[in-house]
Amino acid sequence: MLRRALRRLDLFAVLSFIIPIFIYLMTLAPSVTFFDSGEFITAISCLGSSHSPGYPFFINYGKPFTWLPFGSIAYRVNFATAISGALACYGAYLLTTHILKDVSPETGSVTAAYCSRIAALAAALTFACTPRLWLQSNHDKPYPLVAFIVAIVLYLILRWRDSYRSGEERSSYIYMAAFLSGLGTGAHHTIILMIPAYALLILSMNWRIILRVRDLIIALMFGLLGFAINLHLPIRAAKYPLLNWGDPQTKEQFLWHFLRKGYPTEKIERGWSLLWNQLNAFNVPYEFTRAGLMLMVLGMLVYCVKRRVEVAAYLTTLATFLLIIVGYFNTPFETIFLTEEFFTPLYLFSAVFIGMGIYFLSVRWADWISAKKISLLYSRIFSSILIFMLPATVCALNYVKNDQHLNYVAYDYASNVLRSSQQGAVLYTWGDSGAFPLWYIQGVEKMRPDLDIVHTPHLVFDWYLDAFPRLFKYSMLRRIPLDSQSPENVLLLAAAEQYPLRPILIDYSTRFSVPFGGYKFNQRGITYQLYQDASPTASTPDLTVWTLYATRGFLGNEMFFRDLDTGKAILIYANSRIEAGEALLKEGRLNEGLGNLRIAAQISPEVAAEVNQTLTRYGVRP
């Protein structure tokens, strides 16, 4: 039986998972990263609720991986995401082989089967090495999981179409697809944008299917059963987990959280430049190269008759995503990069048509080889070399910029802030990347539980104040209408209340985001302690803090990976050194000031001009 199973095993299918997981593990982030990473890992660790809409399925998917016997919790969650990314690549393989199984009858069955599998593997590996999926798969992100669910739903619907066409309809495929679609809403809401394509694939067989009330009710029930994963949010909120974003215990608070009502809704005026940049958030040539785009178009054109419904479904999906993500959301310039994440399922669909284009060329190549009477072994070797040129090229283009295996910047940034803070201090943060790694390191790795880390933008929410009974249970903030206040004003009120009782620290972003009238700052590395203007405390930078800092991966240019917030963090270190150096030069401490300025230039060569300007201002030759 085992021998029979091994004989039936599709080696190419196995490789479509094994090769991507190997690539992702080679470049896997070793710990927490910036953006939503620290928040997701903390929520997964405590089975809590992350930012709206909560991501309950992603959280429950990642939780079992936290029990693995190796690495930190952050590494285990990153490993879970790598698994989901490799599964998405397998999904691309599965879809491609299924669509190609009978589109080219003019070639011999053995050759056609081999060409379809190797073309599907090439499509899966090309998808694996695209910059979008790769970056999502080597640290914690829900989008690869969404792409895998979409692939399986599409595969189930295609299987149902086959059964319907053969006269042996199996409605169970549709019921399972409905269940997975409902479940997928717990990974990300954008999975809903696939529904028009699903409907097209189903109704194109027979539009009268929509009149089957019984089947529709059963499918709806299965969809609701999958959607029930969202009940995780109120159930776990009642247990007050470590991260309980939105505290969605009540119906009103659940809907506020699930429907993302905590985010700004003000629409901006759209111009042609903005529209063009929004549309370019979906960029097939960037992800797959121009050769990949040509192969995709070739696959769609060549098989547009035999697989016209699948082509129509792809175009429907493209239109739906663009109408909602670009047309409805109307994202401003500064956050367009966030919408790039949403197109991962569409890139999976694109990879399928790239596989079809590769297949078309490979069977033509096989026919030419056969006419030249070249041995089958040699023909397959030559074919494989040509076919895998695209995934190899895409991999080579994106390997260095997606290699995060030395990326300790976020971990060191957060641990440096915590390690250098005074005992029992209140630390106010501003940006998500400045706060979320701290949440993970304090909450999950249990570093510095004596600190209260308060995220300033959340101070206007009662549910957030509830999470800090030590600070806000009897605070004056409970007696004012927070929804009419700005976060900056609430921070100033809270700081004035807490100043006589505990040290008040702010991070670098808060320092330059909030006007602190009536206060002066004592720089402590990349954080600042607040003192009232009347305080006799000197504003001389505390240089001992720098000796506590770890700065792995970027001081010696060992780490090539640079995303937006990793680059910002490195600049914060450099600018903080410049600020300290200038303060020391002002006090006449020349050697110490020069030392800090040299380190700033070493950390970030981009600040060299600013360093030189500072030296010139104080009469020191650069």
pLDDT digits (tens, 9 = 90+) for 411-444: 999 999 999 899 999 999 998 888 999 999 999 9
CA distance 436 to 430: 10
Can you say whether residue 289 is alpha, beta or left, with left for phi > 0 and alpha for psi between -120 and 50 degrees? left
Sheet holding 452-455, edge to edge: 452-455, 426-429, 504-507, 527-532, 519-524
- Range 539-556 average pLDDT: 80
Q: Taking the CB of residue 504, how many other CB atoms lie within 10 A of it? A: 21
Question: CB–CB of 158/173 below 8 Å?
Answer: no
User: In this structure, is the dihedral angle defined by the CA atoms of residues 422, 423, 429 and 435, taken in order, positive or negative?
Assistant: positive
CA distance 401 to 560: 6
Is the whole-model pTM more than 0.85? yes
The C-alpha angle with vertex 115 and arms to 301 and 312, in degrees rounded to 5, equals 25
Half-sphere exposure of 360 (CA within 13 A, CB side): 17
pLDDT digits (tens, 9 = 90+) for 139-197: 889 999 999 999 999 999 999 999 998 888 899 999 999 999 999 999 999 999 999 99
The answer to whether residue 280 scores a pLDDT higher than 50 is yes
- Range 35-53 average pLDDT: 93
pLDDT digits (tens, 9 = 90+) for 506-540: 999 999 889 988 888 889 999 999 998 888 877 78
Question: What DSSP letter does each residue of 298-315 carry, written as one string?
Answer: HHHHHTTTTTHHHHHHHH
**Domain range list for the chain:** 2-25+81-129+143-241+271-400, 409-561
The CA distances from residue 270 to 180, 273, 279, 338, 618, in Å, are 36, 8, 12, 18, 46
Look at residue 288 in the predicted model and tell me its pLDDT. 96
* One-letter amino acid for residue 572 of the chain: I
Q: Residue 2's pLDDT band (boundaries 50, 70, 90)?
A: low
**Which tokens in the block code for residue 211?**
């009149």
* Range with the poorest average pLDDT among 73-87, 285-299, 458-472, 550-564: 550-564
More confident: 260 or 40: 40
| Closest CA relative to residue 251, chosen from 237, 241, 262, 268 | 237
The C-alpha angle with vertex 127 and arms to 103 and 57, in degrees rounded to 5, equals 105
Look at residue 114 in the predicted model and tell me its pLDDT. 80
Look at residue 586 in the predicted model and tell me its pLDDT. 86
| Closest CA relative to residue 388, chosen from 355, 366, 365 | 355
The answer to whether residue 9 scores a pLDDT higher than 80 is no
CA distance 15 to 9: 11
- Range 539-566 average pLDDT: 77
Alpha helices in 191-271 (DSSP H): 195-203, 213-227, 232-237, 251-258
The answer to whether residue 49 scores a pLDDT higher than 70 is yes
Look at residue 264 in the predicted model and tell me its pLDDT. 66
Half-sphere exposure of 596 (CA within 13 A, CB side): 27
Q: Residue 107's pLDDT band (boundaries 50, 70, 90)?
A: very low
Alpha helices in 166-194 (DSSP H): 172-184
Say whether 223 sits in a helix, a strand or coil. Answer: helix
The C-alpha angle with vertex 181 and arms to 178 and 182, in degrees rounded to 5, equals 90
The answer to whether residue 115 scores a pLDDT higher than 90 is no
Look at residue 539 in the predicted model and tell me its pLDDT. 76
- Range 472-495 average pLDDT: 89
More confident: 218 or 364: 218
Give the bridge partners for 504, in sequence order: 426
Look at residue 364 in the predicted model and tell me its pLDDT. 79
The answer to whether residue 62 scores a pLDDT higher than 90 is yes
Look at residue 3 in the predicted model and tell me its pLDDT. 60
CA distance 22 to 218: 40
The C-alpha angle with vertex 396 and arms to 149 and 385, in degrees rounded to 5, equals 85
CB-count burial class (<10 Å; 0-12, 13-18, 19+) for 42: buried
Look at residue 371 in the predicted model and tell me its pLDDT. 66
CA distance 357 to 513: 51
Q: What is the mean pLDDT of the chain?
A: 89
**C-alpha torsion angle, residues 47, 52, 53, 58 (rounded to 10):** -40
Say whether 323 sits in a helix, a strand or coil. Answer: helix
Going by the DSSP 8-state scheme, the letter that residue 49 receives in this structure is B
Q: Residue 260's pLDDT band (boundaries 50, 70, 90)?
A: confident
Percent of the chain topping pLDDT 70: 92
- Range 455-467 average pLDDT: 92
The answer to whether residue 557 scores a pLDDT higher than 60 is no
